Amino acid sequence: MSTEQQKRPDGRDATTTDKPRVVTLPEDENRETLVNYYHQMLLVRRFEEKSDEMYKMARIGGYCHLNLGEEATVVGFCAGLEQKDYLYTNYREHGYALGRGITPNAVMAELFGKETGCSYGRGGSMHMFSLEHRLLGGYGIVGGQVPLAVGAAFAVAYRGTDEVVAVQMGDGATNGGPFYESLNLARIYNLPVIFFVVNNQYGMGLPVEKGSSVSELYRKGCAFDVRGERVDGNNVLAVRDAVRRAAKVAREEHLPYIVEAVSFRHRGHSVIDPDRYRDEELVKQGRLLDPVPAFAQHLLEAHLIDDQGLQDIEEQVEQVVNEAVRFAEESPFPAVETLFDHIYASDEHLQESTY
Query: Average of pLDDT values for 130-145?
Result: 95
Q: What is the pLDDT of residues 221-254, one digit of tens each?
A: 999 999 999 999 999 999 999 999 999 999 999 9
Query: Average of pLDDT values for 308-314?
Result: 98
Residue 340, pLDDT score = 87
Cβ distance 191 to 183 under 8 Å?
Answer: no
Strands 165-170 and 86-90, by their bridges, are parallel
Q: At what angle do helices 31-56 and 104-111 cross, to 10 degrees?
A: 20
Residue 353, pLDDT score = 54
Q: DSSP 3-state assignment of 135?
A: strand
Q: State the DSSP string of 60-90.
A: S-S-----TT-HHHHHHHHHHS-TTSEEEEE
In the predicted model, is pLDDT for residue 135 greater than 60? Answer: yes
User: At residue 296, what is the residue type?
Assistant: A
With a pLDDT cut of 90, the percent of the chain lying above it is 85
Q: What is the pLDDT of residues 96-129, one digit of tens each?
A: 999 999 999 999 999 999 999 999 999 999 999 9
Cβ distance 95 to 77 under 8 Å?
Answer: no
Query: Average of pLDDT values for 71-85?
Result: 98
In the predicted model, is pLDDT for residue 349 greater than 80? Answer: no
Among 94-103, 270-279, 312-321, which is the least confidently predicted range? 270-279
Residue 350's pLDDT band, with cuts at 50, 70 and 90, is: low
- Closest of 138, 251, 264 to residue 192, by C-alpha: 251
Q: What is the pLDDT of residues 141-167, one digit of tens each?
A: 999 999 999 999 999 999 999 999 999
31-327 falls under which CATH superfamily?
Thiamin diphosphate (ThDP)-binding fold, Pyr/PP domains (3.40.50.970)
Which H or E run includes 127? Answer: none
Query: Average of pLDDT values for 57-67?
Result: 95
- pLDDT top residue among 222 and 344: 222
Query: Average of pLDDT values for 176-202?
Result: 97
Cβ distance 4 to 219 under 8 Å?
Answer: no
Residue 7, pLDDT score = 38
Q: Rounded to the nearest 5°, which phi and psi values hold at 296?
A: -60, -40
Mean pLDDT of the chain: 91
User: At residue 240, what is the residue type?
Assistant: R
Q: What is the pLDDT of residues 6-42, one digit of tens each?
A: 333 333 343 444 454 555 677 788 999 999 999 999 9
